[in-house]
Amino acid sequence: MPHQSISPSPTGAKTPRFYGNVVVAAGFFIMVMMWGVFFTFGIFFKPMLADLGWTRAVTSGAFAVFWIIQGLLSIVVGIINDRLGPRLVITVCGLILGLGYILMSQTGTLWQLYLFYGVLIAAGMSGTFVPLVSTVARWFVKRRGVMTGIVVAGSAVGGLIAPPLANWLISIYDWRISYIILGSIALVVVVIAAQFLKRDPAQVGQMPYGASKEETGLKEDAKAFSLREAAYRGQFWLVFSMLSCLGFALFVILVHIAPHATDLGFSAVTAANILAAAGGGSVIGRLLLGGAADRIGNRRVFIISFILMAASLLWLMPATGTWALYLFAIIFGFATGGGIMSESPLVAELFGLGSHGLILGVTSFGFCIGAAAGPFLAGYIFDVTGSYNVAFLVGAVVSVVGLILSAVLKPTKTSQSM
| Block mean pLDDT (10 aa), the chain, length 418 | 41 66 92 88 79 75 82 85 87 94 89 90 88 85 79 82 88 90 93 90 79 49 74 91 94 87 88 85 83 82 95 93 92 90 84 79 88 86 90 96 93 58
3-state DSSP percent of the chain in helix, strand and coil, to 5: 80, 0, 20
268: nearest Cα among 49, 109, 27, 100: 49
What span, in angstroms and rounded, lies between the C-alpha atoms of 409 and 397? 19
* 86 contacts 194 by C-beta, under 8 angstroms: yes
CB atoms within 10 A of CB 3: 18
* 60 contacts 255 by C-beta, under 8 angstroms: yes
In the chain, what are the domain boundaries? Answer: 20-408
Q: Which pLDDT score, from 0 to 100, does residue 5 have?
A: 41
What span, in angstroms and rounded, lies between the C-alpha atoms of 337 and 332? 8
Q: Which pLDDT score, from 0 to 100, does residue 2 have?
A: 40
Q: How far is CA 199 from CA 142, 275, 358, 407, in A?
A: 18, 34, 14, 33
Q: Which pLDDT score, from 0 to 100, does residue 243 have?
A: 95
DSSP string covering 57-102:
HHHHHHHHHHHHHHHHHHHHHHHHHHHH-HHHHHHHHHHHHHHHHH
CATH number of 20-408: 1.20.1250.20
What span, in angstroms and rounded, lies between the C-alpha atoms of 410 and 418? 8
pTM of the model: 0.74
What span, in angstroms and rounded, lies between the C-alpha atoms of 45 and 60? 9
Q: How far is CA 166 from CA 179, 187, 193, 254, 329, in A?
A: 8, 16, 22, 15, 19
Q: Which pLDDT score, from 0 to 100, does residue 364 have?
A: 85
Q: How far is CA 350 from CA 22, 232, 297, 299, 353, in A?
A: 27, 13, 12, 11, 9
* 211 contacts 141 by C-beta, under 8 angstroms: yes
What span, in angstroms and rounded, lies between the C-alpha atoms of 323 and 243? 30
Q: Which pLDDT score, from 0 to 100, does residue 396 have?
A: 96
